[in-house]
Amino acid sequence: MSEKSLSERRKEALFLQKKNGRLLASEETLASADAFCEDYKRFLDAAKTEREAVKTALKQAEKAGFSAFDPAKSYKPGERYYVNNRGKAVAFVTVGQAPVEEGVCITAAHIDSPRLDLKPNPLYEDLELALFKTHYYGGIKKYQWTAIPLALHGVFAKKDGTVVEVSIGEAEDEPCFVVNDLLPHLAAEQSKRKLGDGIRGEELNVLVGSHPFKDDAGSELVKLQILELLYEKYGVTEADFLSAELECVPAFHARDIGLDRSMIGSYGQDDRVCAYCALRAALEVKNPPKTVITILADKEEVGSDGNTGLNSAFLQHLVEDLAAMQNTTAGRVLRASVCLSADVNAGMDPTFPEVMEKRNAALLNYGAVITKYTGARGKSDTSDASAEYVGAVRKMLDEAGIAWQVGELGKVDIGGGGTVAKYIADLGVDVVDLGVPVLSMHAPFETTAKFDVFMTYRTMCVFGERPPFVR
Ligand code: MN
Ligand code: MN
């Protein structure tokens, strides 16, 4: 056996060690990751929209002892409640041993994903085919949404006050829908368009029918037949589309990827991967030292605006209620609090390495990725986490034996993006982004690594159990 040279020993002591997490992990950890991801895949299939994610999360939370917030009640340490924000966002609270004035631990993930929303007047007939007009939601590469099976999810809110839920296209025996694309034979002109323009917004029309209503005369008989079917199934008329939220999402299910089954492919992993990890941790962390707040937010993909997004007063009001119970103010609580903005980052793709700066890019299987700042250009539009807070998070992760890495969202000046972090930082909270690296982010079928998913879940648990307070 050869002795290590001096430089080797000094390198070991001084260099930052980076290693593939699957190489270092025990068989037991990898088996736990696989088992966790079986549950995660079921969640992905059950929660294809923000509304379905809230519903699924509430069902699990009620089983774990959470009940709806009662403003008349003063909650004691260990007690748990939830605040359901219009069925599209939700917060789970487990009251901690310490007074909230000493700070709370907030984990925030988002449960909305890019998709095709139906327009208010979606249904039309052309060339004896019935179609839906759509308006895309979030940042998509439009050409990716053609010629794949789509399902329709959402609600009609009728004038009588009833809300009818819609979900068509998930089960194998149900029909699905499709945005058709031009055949290559006739696409010579289309092929000259720039990629971003390959399919245009007004070309994202969803095919929904071709069978005409049986009558000798009359026009728009295919459209009529579709309305007949919708009336039969849901009791709705064309006017009910005006007060509906209907979303076309990819109809395929979450699957293992790779001969080694080490990865997961699915729609909506940004950011339901972090949302699921955060939810599981919220259910499992009981009697935490500090109060734990887990938020599953809506509207992140469109800038967090609106009353179900985190650029609203939702979190502030939630903390005001908590503060009132303990005779303090939300300001005092928030200033002392810490947050993980749990969102995905881009993993480095061997096919497209040129957009990443490899020394500061996240790799699959290297664990949860900390993103100190997001934004664009000269760090605009982001909250840059403080060295002190990142230091505390780093200590927490290392002490818990969690594999983690850092990642920037691409090379300087090549693009950028944002998360909910800055809206929570605005409230005076210490915030850093942490989540799972993803390939093909925002595509109809995104890829993550099971090991990274599991490390992110473990992070969320430890965050509640041994929170990283700077002060
Ligand atoms: Mn995201
Ligand atoms: Mn996103």
Using one digit for the tens of pLDDT, what is the confidence trace for 168-189? 999 999 999 999 999 999 999 9
Distance 142 CA to ligand 2 centre (A): 15
Distance 428 CA to ligand 2 centre (A): 24
Distance CA 22, CA 271 (A): 23
* Confidence at residue 216, expressed as pLDDT on a 0 to 100 scale: 75
Distance 165 CA to ligand 1 centre (A): 26
Q: Give residue 313's identity as a one-letter amino acid code.
A: A
Distance 382 CA to ligand 1 centre (A): 14
**C-alpha dist (Å) from residue 390 to 281, 330, 356:** 21, 24, 22
The tokens describing 313, both together, are 């007063």
Quickly state the pLDDT bin for 470 (edges 50, 70, 90). confident
Q: Which residues surround ligand 2, an ion (CB under 5 A)?
A: 270
User: For the residues 361-376, what does the mean pLDDT come to?
Assistant: 96
User: Per-residue pLDDT for 2 more than 80?
Assistant: no
Burial of 300 (0-12, 13-18, 19+ CB in 10 A): buried
The tokens describing 444, both together, are 């109809």
Distance 272 CA to ligand 1 centre (A): 8
Quickly state the pLDDT bin for 471 (edges 50, 70, 90). low
Distance 274 CA to ligand 1 centre (A): 9
Quickly state the pLDDT bin for 259 (edges 50, 70, 90). very high
Distance 198 CA to ligand 2 centre (A): 21
| Closest ligand to Cα 341 | 1
Distance 97 CA to ligand 1 centre (A): 32
Which of the pair, 218 or 232, is modelled with greater confidence?
232
User: For the residues 144-166, what does the mean pLDDT come to?
Assistant: 98
User: For the residues 296-310, what does the mean pLDDT come to?
Assistant: 97
Task: Choose the weakest-confidence range: 12-21, 54-63, 100-109.
Answer: 12-21
Nearest alpha carbon to residue 73 among 325, 333, 330, 286: 325
User: Per-residue pLDDT for 123 more than 90?
Assistant: yes
DSSP state of 380: B
| Closest ligand to Cα 302 | 2
User: For the residues 6-24, what does the mean pLDDT come to?
Assistant: 95
Residue 323 half-sphere exposure, CB side, CA atoms within 13 Å? 19
Q: Which residues contact 402 (CB under 8 A, 6 or more apart)?
A: 367, 368, 455, 458, 459, 462
Distance 469 CA to ligand 2 centre (A): 28
Distance 237 CA to ligand 2 centre (A): 34
Q: Give residue 108's identity as a one-letter amino acid code.
A: A
Query: For the chain, what is the largest distance between any 2 Cα atoms, rounded to a whole number of angstroms?
Result: 93
* Confidence at residue 1, expressed as pLDDT on a 0 to 100 scale: 59
DSSP three-state, residue 76: coil
Q: Which residues contact 282 (CB under 8 A, 6 or more apart)?
A: 61, 92, 94, 107, 292, 294, 460, 464
DSSP three-state, residue 406: strand
Distance 447 CA to ligand 1 centre (A): 14
**C-alpha dist (Å) from residue 155 to 37, 85, 252, 259:** 29, 16, 21, 39
The dihedral sign for the CA sequence 392, 398, 401, 403: positive
Q: Which residue bears the tokens 């690296």?
A: 437
The dihedral sign for the CA sequence 137, 138, 139, 140: negative
Distance 449 CA to ligand 1 centre (A): 16
Nearest alpha carbon to residue 463 among 277, 326, 270: 277
The tokens describing 169, both together, are 């296209």
103: Cα separation from own chain's centroid: 26
Distance CA 324, CA 429 (A): 19
Distance 50 CA to ligand 2 centre (A): 13
Cis, bond preceding 271 (omega within 30 deg of 0): yes
Mean pLDDT of the chain: 97
342-370: buried (b, 16+ CB within 10 Å) or exposed (e) per residue?
bbbbbbbbeeeeeebeeebbbbbbbbbbb
Distance 224 CA to ligand 2 centre (A): 37
Task: Choose the weakest-confidence range: 2-6, 12-16, 106-110.
Answer: 2-6
Residue 195 half-sphere exposure, CB side, CA atoms within 13 Å? 3
Distance 344 CA to ligand 2 centre (A): 8
Distance CA 238, CA 253 (A): 30
Nearest alpha carbon to residue 146 among 190, 88, 112: 190
Other C-beta atoms closer than 10 Å to the C-beta of 99 total 17
Distance 179 CA to ligand 1 centre (A): 25
Quickly state the pLDDT bin for 78 (edges 50, 70, 90). very high
